[in-house]
Structure 1
Amino acid sequence: MSDPAARQFARYQIPMCVAALFTIKCAVMWQLKDHILLQQDAGLDTSVYLKLTQQVMAGDIALGPGLYFVSPLYIYVAASILAVADSVIWLRLVQIVFGTASVALIWWCGREWAGSRAAWCAAGLASLTGLFTFYEALLLQAAIDPFLTSLALAALTAALTRSRWTWFLAAGAAFGIQSLNRPNILIAAAGLIVLLLLSRRSRGAAAMVAGLLLALAPVTIRNGLVADDWSPLSSHGGLNFYIGNNPAADGTYVMIPSITPSIVGQQQDARRVAELAVGHELDDAGISSHFYRSALQWIREHPWPAARLFARKLVYVFNSAHLSLNYSYPFYAYDADTALRALAVGPWLLIPLGLTGVASLAWTRRDGAFCIWAAFIPLYAVAVAAFFVSERYRLPLLVPLCVASGAALDSFSSALASRRWRRVGALLGLIGLLGLGANWPLGLDDARAEERTRMAERSAMLNRLDDAEAWTAKAEEIHPTPGVVHFRVGRALAVRGRPVAALSHLQEAARLDPDRPETSYALGQALMDAGRASEAVPHLRRALKAGVRPDLAGFDLARALDAAGDRQSALQVQQDVKPAHKDDAASWYQMGQLAQQWGDSRLAARYYGEAVSAAPGAFDLRQRLGLMLALLGDFEAAVRELERAVKLNPSDATARLNLAVACAQLGRTNDARVQAREALRLDPGYVKARELLKALEK
């Protein structure tokens, strides 16, 4: 190529590469944008983040009361973008722009530490890293993690190579901003500040602390004003720490008993579990502190198991196994048939290559600056392992590993070109050894079977029955417990109002897992909904005996017995039924309605009384209880409840008339007339009120 042509190519090289990278990312985004598991209403983290985003856009800027339960930065980034362009497509496009900028920052870091050729190698590896592109196409906070990490590390690179306090200030601010999206970063940032102090860069350390505090100030002020807690932290840290450090922890996400495995479920159940444990109400910070204390107590009492668990988590951090949390990358790369399949670079390559590059650069540069920068890798690894390991939590690690991997490739090619065979052998040996460790099979679940099952469930909920059956068959192929697949698909079909279609799956689930009482309960419900009450009874009895949701199973068994013609047995069962939570007013009310339908006014009054205790401000519950007490002849108690109902809703003509009738039964004729007249005033066409008033005035 001639010199003018070469210069012309060099001029357009970077824009062409950026355009190609952006095109690849857009292609993946376009393939995933309509995927049924990634929609706004598909549940999991995406739905929660978008709901909070909509609250901010509706004017609830502070998202109070209390502390944030999730990391807040992504919520405000998404709200800012959607306020300008009201479409999640634009949000995804901006995330891709961030991702493209991240690759540019990786290139710049590579050039600063190892030269131009290493920089291009690093940028190429980052461009082909499917995990970056995948998460950038999703609607959750991990989408901006690569950009925030590369921005912070680029600022730190400038600070360490130029030794200007303003760059240290910028680095601290960048790490602080990122910690509002990924709180573990605070641990790594604190470690970097300590290393700056130990290397006698006290001015830089002070500037970095100042930048960090400056970035955290808005959230700290918000928490102080809204939650009376002058802390920059959100309230889910304690629960996450406990998930990773308890007797049943295995280093990954493991469901905690009594806590629903979702953001909303965790927020609600964590409060209930913590308050039950301490015996009094707690604020958000108190709930988080409770779980921190519980985890630390277990660590103190079991130091060796805790140490082994921590070591295992560090192994997971530096292993290529896909540790899914809600979204399985292998599923979207291979089962969803996307371009991610071609983006083959991942932890399997970046971990051994990147760690080799760190060792090589540390050896050849022999300066403390690079070692401080590279210390982000072990510091952040420890920050992840302190909690629990998942693929998206360790995503920031891939950024410095890309930079160091570019350096490793450059070092290897230089050694090869200069025929330094010992260095070539040493590099290959180290890459091979680290590659063996990074790719050692640990038998961890990549959640591909779970995603196939979710596809079957979601297809069933969307009435795509053929797709549901096809995905059920695919899930069965690799799921460790195929009965669970049929159980979940059957339950989804039942919820969607297709009990007949649900029965075949639930019966297959019962055949595959005959000892699973949850299947018996779902099968009994489906049989009830299909009009086969007699067949439902034994399944519901088994579920109730096994303790599966005794409140609901008992209620359904009573309904089934009544439908089968055995009302006496139904009433006996119903008398022992209680909601799972005493303050569940809706369940008490539903049980009262059933008892009323069966003509057992005493049982109905008891249930309505419990409902009123759970929700004393509910007008309808008060009125129902008053009516049942009146039917039982306890007119004094009926009048008390109906008077309270009228106070709760003074404009309800029916409540006024019911109170008038109860007062008349007690001989309180004047009070009865007053209430009957008021009922007639509220509803001039109310015939029953007119007739009662006429009878009272005789």
Structure 2
Amino acid sequence: MSPSVPHRRLALLVGLLFLGALFVRLGYQYQMSSSPLWQAPILDEAVNHHWALEVARGEGWGELPFFRAPLYPWFLGLVYRVLGESPAGARLVQALLSSVTCLLVWWIARRTFSPLAGWCAGVLAATYWPWVYFDAELQDVPLGLFCNLAALAALVTWTPRRRQLWLPAAAGLLLGLSAITRPTVLVVLPAVAGWLWWQAGRADEARWRRRWWAPVLLAAGVAAAVLPVTALNRWVGGDAVLVASQGGMNFYIGNHPGSDGHSARFPGARADWESLRRESRRQAERARGTKLRASQVSDYWYGQGMEFWRRQPASALRLTARKAAYLGGAAELPNNKQIRFLIERYAPAWRRPWLWPGFSLVAPLGLVGLWWGGGGRRSVLLGTFALSYGAAVVAFFVTARFRMPVMAVWIVLAGGGAAALLRLARRGPRRRLLAATVTLLLAAVLVQLPARGQRENAAHGHYTLARAHGQRGQPARAEQEYRRALALQPAFSEALLGWSALLLEGGRADEALPLLRKAVATHPDDLPLRANLALTLQAVDRAQESVKLLQQGLSRRPDQPDLWLWLGNAQMKAASPGDAIASFRRVLELEPARADGRYNLANALMSAGDAQQAVRTYRSLLVDHPDHHGGWNMLGIALSGRGDLEVAVHAFETAVQLQPQSPRAHLNLGQALRRQGSTEAATRQFQRTRELDPGGDAGRQASQLLDE
């Protein structure tokens, strides 16, 4: 037999492993494509999707300093730029990337344990159902796992005798890329550097000083990836943020008296990123009594989390023990979506989790691999990496998505465990086989204990589907899902809010009104519910009742700027601009940088006849928010009313540049140009208005002006 034949056979088997992993992922994605969420990203996915669209369209790299780590949205933006702005194309690329990552798992296990362990680990990675699930999400999991496992592949390949110093440097670069995907991985760097120093000491020729080369090159590789992001934050964003500023908020979410250890709920905020970000900043600035930079907001919440430990150490320890149990438990805790709920509904081939490898199999096998796999120092690296990363997850809060980097490494150890059991069953010794088997069975029982009583929230699953149907313009299906959610959980505030908003948008305010009255009675401190009831009252011409409702809310929560803003809007609807001015000023006392507060205040000043003060307020708004289309448009109207036509034209031109598809902006510009005597330019603007809004009010008004 030719020496190349075994290599060909190996290449064929590796290719089959890759194709098998890809087939499994594409099969799952095909089934899940019938879900309304497939083309309607929500929550974290929506943030990543919209950020990626900005990158793909060349509109910037994201808001600086970064609140979230930027590499995944950048990666997603590149995919959109090449394949088109469809999430389906991005999911295909993620399936391909993770199929490559399965080969990395195979290589690491083969290098650490044995060829048999490599195949066992590769098959587990290809079919591990939570991994397959997250490959179909617009989340950072596939990219982060690739970076982590590519780094580990470089580390287990490195041998100090051969002085392959480029491998620790490459590993550092990959871990740095992982850090700007999800910064949690930075916690494992000291352990990895220590392992490199320890491993370098095995070489006969290694002297004490030479042992530091590998850790130093690792650190240099990390710095090469992370420091450019830090520089962007510092020199463009104006703040000393290493990667992202959300860390303090996330730490507090998992370390405060009301935390359950797994829900991404921030006290006082709703479960969406804009609300979480704004409320965390508002509370921090109120407590400090001054405007804070993003890094200072993060530091404040880290401090509040540590204050919980100082004041209530027993409660903090109990909470940490609960989070550790979640990390080591079989339940896959959802973050944005109810995982099993969606699989049961849309992926029939995956409805029986026991048919596919999951945590219940991988965790016990990984433990066997760690102790009896015979991986030597390389298995120490894998175990240290997984346990360090797991400890970092427990320090914040635990979800299935955050646990995946731990499990990807644990799958390598599980391959070693499976191979060890097969080896011991064939050749013994029986004592070790018995010990390994007992360990496997005991661990299999223990991982089920934290899952007892854990049930996914089906009501939340229906609510998520309702939101997706609403985004896709399917109100009947959305209403059906809202009804199902409320049948399971009648007091579900988010579902009540969503359904009422759907009814209001559909012109069914009379139906929304009793629903919202009941909801506000059940949740008197729920601000968005109260706001929706106020809007509904305004829609049925009961503005004064709306004002009274919001004033009642303020008697309970006088420090809430949202309530003051909504009250000002209601007072404007009730033709009380003087009262509205006072309400909007109160918004700005509580939250000075708030753009909608300044904009609405300027509008109220215009309604009250104080054009001079309105112009000053619009200009103040536009200094801090130069892309505020409404601000430029209203500034133009205010200036035009004062006769400052030249400056008004400039304001309207800026509004048109910001929103070239806005018929009202073109109409306003045309009217100002006509008053200025630029008839031809005005005619072009009126024609453009008519093209954009042929049957609307702006289009009809433009037609009348063209006929004059």
| TM bucket normalised to smaller | 0.7 to 0.9
- 1:156 to 1:433, Cα distance in 2 relative to 1, 3 A: same
Equivalent-residue separation in structure 1 for 2:297 and 2:545 (angstroms):
44
Equivalent residues of 1:56, 1:63 under 8 A apart: yes
- 1:261 to 1:491, Cα distance in 2 relative to 1, 3 A: same
Q: What amino acid is the match of 1:606?
A: D
Please give the residue correspondences for 1:217-232 in structure 2 after superposition, counting only pairs within 5 Å. 217-232=227-242
Equivalent-residue separation in structure 1 for 2:96 and 2:276 (angstroms):
33
Equivalent residues of 2:390, 2:406 under 8 A apart: yes
User: Which position in structure 1 is the counterpart of 2:329?
Assistant: 319
SS in 2 for 1:375: helix
Q: Deviations over 1:187-233 (max 9, x none)?
A: 01223223444665433222211211122121122122112334422
Equivalent residues of 1:109, 1:154 under 8 A apart: yes
17-26 vs 401-410, greater mean Cα deviation? 17-26
**Cα distance, 1:407 vs structure 2:** 1.1
Q: 1:409 aligns with which of 406, 413, 418?
A: 418
User: Which position in structure 2 is the counterpart of 1:673?
Assistant: none
Q: What amino acid is the match of 1:360?
A: W
User: Which position in structure 1 is the counterpart of 2:573?
Assistant: 594
Q: Does 1:524 align with 2:508?
A: no
User: Which position in structure 2 is the counterpart of 1:169?
Assistant: 169
Equivalent-residue separation in structure 2 for 1:584 and 1:490 (angstroms):
21
**Cα distance, 1:328 vs structure 2:** 2.7
Q: 1:358 aligns with which of 355, 361, 370?
A: 370
Gaps of 5+ in 2: 202-210, 589-594, 620-633, 645-671, 680-708
User: Which position in structure 1 is the counterpart of 2:579?
Assistant: 606
Equivalent-residue separation in structure 1 for 2:416 and 2:596 (angstroms):
68
Equivalent-residue separation in structure 1 for 2:76 and 2:615 (angstroms):
50
User: Which position in structure 2 is the counterpart of 1:16?
Assistant: 16
User: Which position in structure 2 is the counterpart of 1:670?
Assistant: none
**Aligned pairs, number:** 614
- 1:131 to 1:420, Cα distance in 2 relative to 1, 3 A: same
**Cα distance, 1:73 vs structure 2:** 0.8
User: Which position in structure 1 is the counterpart of 2:135?
Assistant: 136
Equivalent-residue separation in structure 2 for 1:473 and 1:541 (angstroms):
18
Equivalent-residue separation in structure 2 for 1:284 and 1:313 (angstroms):
27
**Cα distance, 1:411 vs structure 2:** 1.1
Please give the residue correspondences for 1:645-660 in structure 2 after superposition, counting only pairs within 5 Å. 649=635, 655-656=641-642
User: Which position in structure 1 is the counterpart of 2:400?
Assistant: 391
Equivalent-residue separation in structure 2 for 1:241 and 1:468 (angstroms):
34
Equivalent-residue separation in structure 2 for 1:195 and 1:345 (angstroms):
30
User: Which position in structure 2 is the counterpart of 1:70?
Assistant: 68
Q: 1:376 aligns with which of 378, 382, 385?
A: 385
Q: Does 1:126 align with 2:125?
A: yes
Equivalent-residue separation in structure 2 for 1:593 and 1:544 (angstroms):
26
Equivalent-residue separation in structure 1 for 2:599 and 2:464 (angstroms):
40
Equivalent residues of 2:615, 2:639 under 8 A apart: no
TM-score by length of 1: 0.77
543-552 vs 136-145, greater mean Cα deviation? 543-552
Equivalent residues of 2:360, 2:447 under 8 A apart: yes
Q: CA RMSD in A?
A: 4.1
**Cα distance, 1:311 vs structure 2:** 2.4
User: Which position in structure 2 is the counterpart of 1:205?
Assistant: 215
SS in 1 for 2:98: helix
47-56 vs 386-395, greater mean Cα deviation? 47-56
Q: Does 1:277 align with 2:267?
A: no
TM-score by length of 2: 0.76
SS in 2 for 1:280: coil
Equivalent residues of 2:366, 2:411 under 8 A apart: yes
Equivalent-residue separation in structure 2 for 1:640 and 1:6 (angstroms):
85
Equivalent-residue separation in structure 2 for 1:183 and 1:650 (angstroms):
45
Equivalent residues of 1:452, 1:474 under 8 A apart: yes
Please give the residue correspondences for 1:110-509 in structure 2 after superposition, counting only pairs within 5 Å. 110-159=109-158, 164-197=164-197, 200=201, 201-341=211-351, 344-361=356-373, 364-365=374-375, 367-418=376-427, 420-440=429-449, 441-459=451-469, 464=474, 467-468=477-478, 471=481, 479=488, 487=496, 490-491=499-500, 493-497=502-506, 499=508, 503=511
Equivalent-residue separation in structure 1 for 2:408 and 2:469 (angstroms):
36
Equivalent-residue separation in structure 1 for 2:391 and 2:81 (angstroms):
38
- 1:426 to 1:81, Cα distance in 2 relative to 1, 3 A: same
Equivalent residues of 2:520, 2:529 under 8 A apart: no
Equivalent-residue separation in structure 2 for 1:683 and 1:344 (angstroms):
74
**Cα distance, 1:581 vs structure 2:** 4.9
70-79 vs 230-239, greater mean Cα deviation? 230-239
218-227 vs 345-354, greater mean Cα deviation? 218-227
Q: Deviations over 1:544-563 (max 9, x none)?
A: 97786697478569759975
Equivalent-residue separation in structure 1 for 2:540 and 2:402 (angstroms):
50
Equivalent-residue separation in structure 1 for 2:544 and 2:146 (angstroms):
67
SS in 2 for 1:118: helix
Equivalent-residue separation in structure 2 for 1:81 and 1:157 (angstroms):
31
- 1:126 to 1:474, Cα distance in 2 relative to 1, 3 A: farther
- 1:143 to 1:573, Cα distance in 2 relative to 1, 3 A: closer
User: Which position in structure 1 is the counterpart of 2:47?
Assistant: 48
- 1:30 to 1:560, Cα distance in 2 relative to 1, 3 A: closer
Equivalent-residue separation in structure 1 for 2:571 and 2:483 (angstroms):
43
**Cα distance, 1:376 vs structure 2:** 0.7
- 1:525 to 1:271, Cα distance in 2 relative to 1, 3 A: same
SS in 1 for 2:36: coil
Equivalent-residue separation in structure 1 for 2:615 and 2:242 (angstroms):
49
